[in-house]
A and B are shown apart, each in its own frame.
Chain A
Amino acid sequence: MIFHRLKVGFHRLGSPPTFHKLCRILSPWLWAGFVACTAIGLYQALYVVPPDYQQGDSFRILYIHVPAAWQAMAGYVIMAILAAIALVWRIRTVEIMTMAAAPVGAAFTALCLATGSLWGKPMWGTWWAWDARLTSMLVLLFIYLGIMGLYAAFEDRRKGARVACILVLVGLVNIPLIHFSVEWWTTLHQGSTINLFGESKMHPSMLPPLIWMAIAVKLMFGGALLDRSRNDLVDQDRRKRWIRDVIGEEA
């Protein structure tokens, strides 16, 4: 019974008016959650957590850098799952979501690289090093940009989305490379400090703001993804009747 309802709900999402309505309703809540979690996270990160005994206050960059890095990778995995669904079931709204995820993921990757540089300069004495972690993260940014470029290169949006979805799946190979780069190769970048399934090397007093910020960026990713998907859907369906009915009042 529950499975049947989930199946029906999933198929209903393929209907553009239903998807548009879902985006309109969900997005403000996701953004509100983002603001609330960010406020708590930033307060704790800047005012509650004490300075690190070795890195001093510069370690506070972690509360931006790490959530951005996690989201850049998680965003890609979400995008790859959507791409697989889009390719197998040919659901247009899922194709739109896949393509809308790329610019948001690219923004997180760029933020991760920029804050990593800003952290690297005072700690390592250099803005950049061609080590495995940094380089694989840069490759992720290029993959994101490549997907966006490929999608934009096609006049037929559906065809462009399908071709870009294949590139999304090919690029997925880079995600484990990023994750295990600090174990497989000797890198200037430190090894993983936080272990979800074991003991973390980070002091527990430093964890709460990281968790708040990680939740915040996840909610923000969802909000931005739905906002962008909604726009792309309206843009593609601008000649269709349901659009006139739905946004007739706004237009």
Chain B
Amino acid sequence: MIPDLDYAFYVWTSYGLFALVMAWQFLQPRLRRRQILAELREERALRTGGYDDANS
């Protein structure tokens, strides 16, 4: 089984950083999209006078 313990910290930290960066690149646009959609929902509510908040 790898990696050798002498290098384990360096190797796993590198792979961990890779996982973190990839996860952030996947999640960040989705979180941003949710935020934009929430803003649009609010704008529409202000425009139409009705506010149907599914989270309330």
Which residues does A use to contact B, with CB under 8 Å? 31, 34, 38, 42, 46-47, 51, 56-58, 60-61, 64-65, 68, 104, 107-108, 110-111, 114-115, 118-119, 121-122, 220, 223-224, 227-228, 230-231, 234-235, 238, 243, 247, 250-251
The reply to whether A56 and B17 contact each other, CB–CB distance below 8 Å, is: no
Residues of chain B within 8 A (CB-CB) of A68 are 18
Count residues of chain B with CB under 8 A from any CB of chain A.
29
The tally of CB-CB contacts under 8 A between chains A and B is 94
Main secondary structure on chain B at its contact with chain A? helix
Taken together as a complex, chains A and B put the C-alpha atoms of A31 and B25 apart, in Å, by 11
**Known contacts A235-B36, A238-B40; is-contact A65 B14 (Cβ 8 Å):** yes
The reply to whether A122 and B7 contact each other, CB–CB distance below 8 Å, is: yes
Taken together as a complex, chains A and B put the C-alpha atoms of A227 and B24 apart, in Å, by 12
From B18, B26, B40, give the contact of A251 (CB < 8 A). B40
The reply to whether B10 and A58 contact each other, CB–CB distance below 8 Å, is: yes
Taken together as a complex, chains A and B put the C-alpha atoms of A46 and B14 apart, in Å, by 12
